[in-house]
Amino acid sequence: MCSDTQVNERSRELGNFMVKCDIHVFSRDICNDLHVVITLDQN
């Protein structure tokens, strides 16, 4: 589960690829998927 702040931090880590998206539309599932994508990207 991610907070909006965590999602914003993660999006900055990925070069603001989510800058065009409204963070508030993300469900917890999408947030968790995003976390997985970022974790894989960092490895």
What percent of the chain has a predicted confidence (pLDDT) above 70?
A: 2
Average pLDDT, the chain: 59
pLDDT at 20 over 50: no
Residue range of the domain that includes 34? 4-42
Q: Who has greater pLDDT, 33 or 22? A: 33
Structural domain total, the chain = 1
Q: What was the pLDDT predicted at 31?
A: 62
Rounded Cα–Cα distance for residues 2 and 41 (Å): 18
Q: Are 38 and 13 in contact (CB under 8 A)?
A: yes
pTM for the model: 0.22
Mean pLDDT of 6-26: 57
